[in-house]
Structure 1
Amino acid sequence: MTLHLGAILPTSSPDPARPILGDIRAAARLAEQAGLESVWSTDHLVASSPILDSTVTLATAAAVTDRLRIGYGVLLLALRPAAWAAKQIGALQYVSGNRLLLGVGTGNPAHGDIGWRAAGASFAERGARTDEALRVLPDLVAGKPVTLADGAEVTLAPGAAVPPILVAGDGPRAKRRAAEFADGWITIAASPADVAASARELSTLAETFGRNAPAITVVAPPLAAAPRQAADQLAEYAASGAERVILAPSPAGWEASYQFAAELQRAL
């Protein structure tokens, strides 16, 4: 199996003491020059550290590249009206030439509920709202007529190619959501053994919905510092069933993490 390699754009950081904000244009260009498959933007309204808007970030990355795929890593659908999210997704597909990967999640509770309150969205109901949005999102993006939860009938124009949908989360509900609605599943810092076990679980879940098992993307895997050794570890991820690995920014700065990704790409 071919393993795709991606990197997170310097839009924020999970460590409030070390926010990582960098040049999005330079990062996207460097990723494309290095032969990486994709770059990804985190998403939130109010997080525990400064964070850029994900849609603006991805549009910027798309504008300065030609081949590189752009990904939400991950979009918090429940923060937005489903139709508005679909409009932005369709527009990104158009301006990028169908290079979008749509990661979807319900958010890290570590950020608290302030972003949800600021958006007028329910933190407690975010899982149910995500499921509701995923049921109508493909048709909204494609420009097909959709009846929303409140009975409103809407058709978005122009329609766009529906991007691959990847659902994030390690809990049972997230895995079931991935099996029911998604083309892929995203996990954080999983080992190759964890990936293999989850692949079997996802395959069983997908069968209950009459769907193929979602492909697996691993974010921030624990890799060795030496590129050759890390490349051997990536081979283990591929053998375990992973389709893609996304490298997180290094505390030494996004440039260092992108250089490491480039060395890994050459080693692969």
Structure 2
Amino acid sequence: MTIEIGVFLPTSTPDPEQPILGDIRASARLAEDLDLGSIWATDHLVASAPILDSTVALATAAAVTDRIRIGYGVMLLALRPAAWAAKQISTLQYVSGDRLLVGVGTGNPAHGDTGWRAADRSFTERGRRTDEALRLLPDLVAGRTTTVAGGLEVTLAPGSTVPPILVAGDGSRARNRAAAHGDGWITIAPSLNQLTTAADELRELATRYDRPTPAITVVAPSLSAVIEQAAEQLSDLAAVGVERVILAPSGPNWAQNYEFAAKVRSAL
């Protein structure tokens, strides 16, 4: 099994003291020139550090590339009305030529609830609202008439090809959500043992829902700085069923991170 390598666009940062905000056009072009598999934008309204709007960043990346896939990593569905999120997704899928991947999450509590309050959205009910939105999303994106909150029937036009939905989260509730609604599951930096156990759980849940087992994407795997050793580590992940990894930025020098990812890809 060949593992795909993706990278984050320089749209945000885990460290408030070192914002990783860079040229979205240049970074997207470089990732495609290096033949990487996908580029991703994080999503939040108010985070613990500076962050760009994910949809605008992905639209910019799509406009300057032709082949590389673009992804929400991850979209906070519950932060938006479901129909509005679907409109953004459908339009991005349309303008990118069906290159979109939609990661979906409920939001990291580390960012607090300021963004949720600013959007007039319940932080405590974000899990329930995410489940509701996931049920509606395929029909809304495809342009099929859909009954949304309050019993209102809406049809979003034009519809688009429904992109792969990848549900993020490291707990059993997230894996259940992925099995019930998703095409994939996203997890952050698991050990091989944790990954093996989670993969078994995903298969059991998928059987229960009579759906295909979600493909696995790993964010920020712990990799050696030695190219050959990093390639071996990714091969180990692929052996337990990982389809894709998304490498996290190590600092403001995103170009160096992308070049490392490309070298590891060549060594696989």
1:131–1:260 distance in 2 versus 1, CA, 3 Å: same
Match runs of 1:119-198 below 5 Å: 119-198=119-198
Cα drift, residue 193 of structure 1? 2.6
Superposition misfits of 4+ residues, deviation over 3 angstroms? none
State the AA in 2 paired with 1:193: N
Cα distance in structure 1, aligned partners of 2:32 and 2:38: 8
Query: Retained in 2: the 8 A contact 1:14–1:49?
Result: yes
Indicate the residue corresponding to 2:53 in structure 1.
53
CA–CA separation in structure 2 for the residues paired with 1:33 and 1:193: 35
Contact conserved, 2:19 with 2:252, CA < 8 A, in 1? Answer: no
2:216 equivalent in structure 1: 216
Alignment partner, residue 261 of structure 2: 261
Whether the aligned pair in 2 keeps the contact of 1:250 and 1:256 (CA below 8 Å) is no
Q: Is the 8 A contact 1:103 1:168 kept in 2?
A: yes
The number of residues matched between the two structures is: 268
Unaligned 5+ runs, structure 1: none
Cα distance, 1:128 vs structure 2: 0.1
- TM-score of the aligned structures, taking structure 1 as reference length: 0.98
RMSD: 0.8
Partner of 1:33: 33
Matched residue type, 1:221: P
- Indicate the residue corresponding to 1:233 in structure 2: 233
Secondary structure of the corresponding residue to residue 201 of structure 1: helix
**AA partner of residue 108 (structure 2):** N
Are positions 1:3 and 2:16 aligned together? no
Q: Distance between the aligned counterparts of 2:264 and 2:141, measured in 1? A: 35
SS of the counterpart of 1:235?
helix
Shift of 1:251: 2.1
How much does 1:252 deviate?
A: 5.3
Matches of 1:89 and 1:195, distance apart in 2? 29
SS at match of 2:229: helix
Give deviations 1:143-169, integer Å, cap 9, x for gaps.
001001211110000000000000000
CA drift of 1:197 comes to 1.5
Q: Point out where structure 2 has 5 or more consecutive residues left out of the alignment.
A: none
Cα deviations across residues 33-86 of structure 1 (Å, max 9, x unaligned)? Answer: 111110000000000000000000001111111100000000000000000000
Instruction: Assess if the C-alpha contact under 8 Å between 1:193 and 1:240 holds in 2.
Output: no
Aligned residue for 1:78? 78
Q: Percent identity?
A: 69
In 2: Cα distance, 1:3 partner to 1:197 partner: 20
Compare 185-194 and 234-243 and name the one that shifted more. Answer: 185-194
> Are residue 23 (structure 1) and residue 23 (structure 2) matched?
yes
Alignment partner, residue 247 of structure 2: 247
Give the equivalent residue in structure 2 for 1:63: 63
